[in-house]
Chains A and B, each alone.
Chain A
Amino acid sequence: MEKGDRGSALKKIRVEVLNMVRAAGEGHVPSAFSVIEILYALYSRMGERDRFFLSKGHASTALYATLAHFGALNERELQTYGKYNSALGGHPHRNEKKGIMNSSGSLGHGFPVAAGYALSLRLKRGGGRVFCLVGDGECNEGTIWETALLASHLKLRELVCVVDNNGSQTRAVPSGDLAEKFRSFGWNAVEVKNGHRVNDLENAIFAERGDDERPYCVVAHTKKGKGVREMEENHFAWHHRAPTPEEYERFVKEIMGSPEEA
């Protein structure tokens, strides 16, 4: 786990995710916990003209909690999560004013939409980049690879794909060496061994790429359920489950008390 202010911010974001899911009685906590540091790294460094698209929409609570941390949403809005008429639900509903660029949920949609948005930035010549977060399970979808091929064909250097490689596909169809696969589709791809270290993520995601015309992929190796041992060890059971009051207390204690080194 991270140290200092950043460490406490990340803990708070995890607790916010638990708060939302506990109150609503549903949500994908392990999938959210695997992307907390990725989102934190992105929102720490994205420029004014940059945009973020969440393609693995079931990590919505992580996005909401991160947006709240960076000031785009407030506490009161987070408390509406999952309620009737709320702007925030189990999968994101497009709301550009709040920083939610796309509605996602069905896998393999957000990535091509993000690529199309990147193409629009190029046509408008106003600068800006598009960051898109996909999951390794999502990489089972054919549209991920159609879009990978199209983006490299179009030389979409404005597009940055971050893969949350949290091993969700270990029991079904593992995606194999994703960095190598993206490279074979004409992308520049790098890996971050520990996808829960914000500095490593920032360095990789925002690396200087010179005049390389290729789209850019960062495969971040993460842990599904990161921060709560019980979820890390049994993430399939926790995939879409809300904690009981007793579990909630225990998990919050574990998150808040976790040692400040990964």
Chain B
Amino acid sequence: MRKQFAKTLLETGADERVAVLLGDLGHFLLRDFEARYPSRFFNMGIAEQSMMSMAAGLALGGFFPVVHSITPFITERCFEQIKDDLCYQNTGVNIVSVGSAFDYAALGCTHHSYDDIGILRTLPRMQIVYPAAPHEFDILFKEAYANGAPTYFRLPEHIHSLSTHPKFGEVEQMREGNVVTVIAAGPQLQNAWEAAEEAARAGVLCDLWYVTTIKPLSAASEKAIAASVAKTGKVVTVEEHSVIGGIGDLIALICGGERFTHVRLGVNDKFLECYGTYEEHCKANGLTKENILKAIHDSAGRNR
């Protein structure tokens, strides 16, 4: 993902309105951009709040800034800057983060971020994009970076290996079924896909949807999700995020008024204080093929 970020950014650098601001992280990764466009490359040191506001100032001056650092530092730390200077003033700043959820498992909770989507979703005008394969970032970034609205790109460390066709603002249907609606975001698409495949072998057909744009979703995409939920009455959401504020909540918002069962797989409103590895955290939080399969079968056996 990071290499694709560097590659895509280098390509979009041909647009003279693109300027890069780093929070003293990713300097080596983006060295090609720096070499080609040194006047539009700024290492802003360790001052994320001011970096964010300065990016807003650059945007007011006609640029499309790309601000980059680790997730908690450029989302949670500077939430008010994002609220006042990006969203309220409607400046086309792009935030590209790495190290979301528990990607930095071993570094501990200060370096985790399972709330970023939840807090940013609350802000009017904010666009939230969550690609989980290199081609997805390339497509979605190029589609959205210059649309004039503040946009957050959450780049996970791990990727899925499925063939996807992302489009900004749209959900993608990955499998068709009528028993359980499974909605996945991020690299968990892989586990969700494999679980749905195994369920299908047991005769439980899942409607599997993949979300790469969390906000805004087109009316057609919202309608498609609502129709799927109306059809199955059973939802399993899978995400590397808190069960509060993420795609679980998003689906609940879209399908308000429907009666459906809902299993939310994600971080269950707690700090993951155990260090360790990404894989260990996935397992501890039920983000595995086996657990998703269990959620599908449990849901299939329930009445709405």
> Which residue numbers of A lie inside 8 Å of B, CB to CB?
94, 101-106, 108-109, 111-121, 123-124, 142-143, 146-147, 149-150, 153-154
Contacts and interface: CB of A to CB of B under 8 A. Distances in A.
B47 A101 contact: no
Contacts of A104: 84
Contact of A94 (B42, B50, B54, B89): B89
B58 A119 contact: yes
Contacts of B47: 143, 146-147, 149-150
Given A101-B60, A124-B61, A154-B42, A116 B53 contact: yes
A106 B63 contact: no
Interface of B: 19, 39-40, 42, 44-45, 47, 49-63, 65, 80-81, 84-85, 88-89
Nearest to A141: B49
Contacts of A150: 44-45, 47, 50-51, 54
B53 A153 contact: no
Contact of B57 (A118, A124, A143, A154): A118
A101 to B, nearest CB: 7
Nearest to A101: B60
B234 to A, nearest CB: 44
Nearest to B83: A106
B54 A116 contact: yes
Contact of B60 (A106, A120, A123, A142): A120
A116 B81 contact: no
Contacts of B65: 116
A160 to B, nearest CB: 14
Contacts of A124: 61-62
Contacts of A111: 53
B304 to A, nearest CB: 44
Contact of B39 (A106, A123, A147, A149): A123
Contact of B85 (A109, A123, A154): A109
Contacts of B40: 123
A109 B53 CA distance: 7
A194 to B, nearest CB: 31
By Cβ-Cβ distance, the 6 closest A-B pairs, closest first, are: A116-B57, A120-B61, A112-B53, A116-B54, A146-B47, A146-B50
Given A123-B39, A146-B47, A150-B54, A113 B85 contact: yes
A116 B88 CA distance: 17
B302 to A, nearest CB: 47
Contact of A115 (B19, B39, B49, B54): B54
A118 B57 CA distance: 8
Given A103-B84, A109-B53, A116 B60 contact: yes
B88 to A, nearest CB: 6
B81 A114 contact: no
B253 to A, nearest CB: 28
A113 B56 contact: yes
B88 A113 contact: no
Contact of A153 (B45, B52, B58): B45
Given A146-B50, A150-B44, A150-B50, A112 B57 contact: yes
B14 to A, nearest CB: 15
12 contacts: A102-B89, A103-B89, A109-B80, A112-B57, A116-B53, A116-B57, A116-B65, A118-B57, A120-B58, A120-B62, A123-B39, A147-B50
B9 to A, nearest CB: 17
Nearest to A142: B49
Contacts of B88: 103
A67 B219 CA distance: 43
A246 to B, nearest CB: 38
Contact of B61 (A121, A153, A154): A121
A150 B52 CA distance: 12
B50 A102 contact: no
A115 B84 contact: no
Contacts of B51: 150
A117 B57 contact: yes
A116 B84 contact: no
A106 B84 contact: yes
A119 B47 CA distance: 16
B53 A113 contact: yes
A119 B44 CA distance: 12
Contacts of B19: 123
